[in-house]
Amino acid sequence: MALLTYLTTTHFDFGALNLLSGEVSRLGMKRPFIATDKGIRAAGILDRVQAALGDGASLAVFDDTPGNPTERAVLAALELYRSEGCDGVICLGGGSSMDLGKAVALLAESGGPLAQFDPLAGGRGKVGNVAPVIAVPTTAGTGSEVSVGFVIIMEDGRKLTFAHPHFIPKVAICDPELTLGLPPLLTAATGMDAITHCIEAFLAPTINPPADGVALDGLWRGWRAIRRAVANGDDREARYAMMMASTEGAFAFIKGLGAVHAMSHAAGRIEKLRLHHGTLNAVFLPAVLRFNAETCADKYVRLRQAMDLPPGADLAEAIESMNRELGLPSGLAAMGLSNDDIPELASYAERDLSALSNPRKASAEDYAAMIAEAM
């Protein structure tokens, strides 16, 4: 039996930021907490959000979110949240700020430690109340503004995916205006993140035809718009399409993800390298498409249609060509990884939550081969 759930409210269009203050009031937030990063502050986006809130300049702001959010940063943000008497979270930024803000909202109401909520260790049943969250994305990639999950690097080095319906933000404010002018490489990396979400969600074996339709629509939009968005940061039509692809990708991955994300989580937890999640997804995706091909032949027909590729076209080669065209790294070696890293990455990937929903079961040896191919 299929379980079909789409549980949040999304305001989507240029100018949607103007609705933020009203949503804060509707949710009963008296003193919201803003989770963001220093890049958002430097770009002036935080100022725009504070202005949209009227009295936003007086609110508590945590802008030390790292590129791959850590448990340490979550606890520092939680301390500020509590000391300022906050009662809800506004996540402002890319996936990292949204993941950190969700973790703060969980711990603020359900208490710690964070590791107790690990779904692979039976943690879903321990989730209690979660402070209300409003998500305001400033990139078009992760889709965390509408997703059930968040990812945190724990103090022991594990990169854990936490998933529960309570983690879906109460409201998403998706304003493509906030993505205008993003640098080309960041646009490319986050855009390929969104495209990967659409593809992996569609391939996940969970039965959810509405989610499949959303995934294919997101892929259709993203694949056509990403070149334009990278080439011209002020192309409003392309920015709208990429943000919609990002949001739709997350709506779709209520089904689950797959081996791409299992390996990206394994590599993304290496703190000294600070590798970008979307870039990792783009680099791993071709190897996973080749691995899954024998299991997903019928679905690959529909992926080719959404990507406007000819019948029988090699999907992996199409992704590799797009990565080159967008200026993304040619492989993991160019990102600082080596063959010596493969055994540990493969072992970790096999045990990652996303591995459970890959359409073809992969062993540690299979992961090692895919990582070597992506090297």
Q: Which CATH number covers residue 235?
A: 1.20.1090.10
Tokens of 5: 């759930």
Q: For residue 1, is it within any domain? A: no
Q: In this structure, are 158 and 222 located in the same domain?
A: no
Reduced to 3 states (helix: H, G, I; strand: E, B; else coil), residue 353 is helix
DSSP letter (8 states) at residue 309: P
Tokens of 257: 């993800």
Q: In this structure, are 172 and 265 located in the same domain?
A: no
Burial of 364 (0-12, 13-18, 19+ CB in 10 A): middle
Q: For residue 297, is it within any domain? A: yes
Instruction: Note if the pTM is more than 0.85.
Output: yes
- Report the chain's mean pLDDT, rounded to a whole number: 94
Q: In this structure, are 262 and 148 located in the same domain?
A: no
What's residue 17's pLDDT? Answer: 96
Reduced to 3 states (helix: H, G, I; strand: E, B; else coil), residue 160 is strand
- CATH value at residue 42: 3.40.50.1970
Tokens of 234: 């002020």
What's residue 4's pLDDT? Answer: 46
- Average of per-residue pLDDT across 74-86: 97
Share of the chain above pLDDT 90, in %: 86
What lies within 8 Å, CB to CB, of 337 at 6+ separation is 267, 270, 273, 345, 375
Contact 249, 204 (CB under 8 A): no
Q: In this structure, are 206 and 149 located in the same domain?
A: no
Lowest average pLDDT, out of 52-56, 72-76, 178-182, 240-244, goes to 52-56
Q: For residue 296, is it within any domain? A: yes
End residue of a domain, out of 158, 178, 198 = 178
Contact 159, 153 (CB under 8 A): yes
Torsions phi, psi of 253, nearest 5? -80, 20
Q: In this structure, are 224 and 334 located in the same domain?
A: yes
Q: How far is CA 132 from CA 25, 205, 360, in A?
A: 12, 31, 37
| pLDDT of residue 315 exceeding 70 | yes
End residue of a domain, out of 135, 160, 178 = 178
Q: For residue 156, is it within any domain? A: yes
pLDDT, tens only, 21-56: 999 999 999 999 999 999 999 999 999 999 999 877
The better pLDDT of the pair 7, 337 is held by: 337
Contact 109, 45 (CB under 8 A): no
Which structural domain, as residue segments, surrounds residue 123? 9-178
Please give the Cα distance from 290 to 65 (Å, whole number).
Answer: 35
What's residue 120's pLDDT? Answer: 84
Q: For residue 2, is it within any domain? A: no
Q: In this structure, are 273 and 225 located in the same domain?
A: yes
Beta strand 33-35 with 61-62: parallel, antiparallel or unpaired? parallel
| pLDDT of residue 5 exceeding 70 | no
| pLDDT of residue 227 exceeding 50 | yes
Tokens of 86: 């906050």
First to last CA, the chain: 40
Q: In this structure, are 143 and 35 located in the same domain?
A: yes
Q: In this structure, are 266 and 209 located in the same domain?
A: yes
Q: How far is CA 343 from CA 8, 268, 339, in A?
A: 40, 15, 8
- Other beta carbons within 10 angstroms of residue 206's beta carbon come to 15
| Residues in a beta bridge with 153 | 70, 159
Q: For residue 3, is it within any domain? A: no
Please give the Cα distance from 190 to 175 (Å, whole number).
Answer: 16
Nearest in space to 255 (alpha carbons), one of 173, 167, 163: 163
Tokens of 170: 């109460």
Q: In this structure, are 131 and 263 located in the same domain?
A: no
Please give the Cα distance from 173 to 255 (Å, whole number).
Answer: 23
Q: In this structure, are 152 and 224 located in the same domain?
A: no
- Beta-strand ranges (E) seen in the chain are 9-12, 33-35, 61-62, 89-93, 133-137, 149-153, 159-163, 171-174
- Average of per-residue pLDDT across 112-124: 91
What's residue 3's pLDDT? Answer: 46
What's residue 274's pLDDT? Answer: 86
Q: In this structure, are 147 and 198 located in the same domain?
A: no
Please give the Cα distance from 310 to 257 (Å, whole number).
Answer: 26
Q: In this structure, are 22 and 49 located in the same domain?
A: yes
End residue of a domain, out of 178, 196, 228 = 178
Share of the chain above pLDDT 70, in %: 98
Lowest average pLDDT, out of 99-103, 119-123, 237-241, 358-362, goes to 119-123
Q: For residue 247, is it within any domain? A: yes
- State how many domains the chain has: 2
Q: For residue 319, is it within any domain? A: yes
Q: Confidence band (pLDDT; 50, 70, 90) for 160?
A: confident
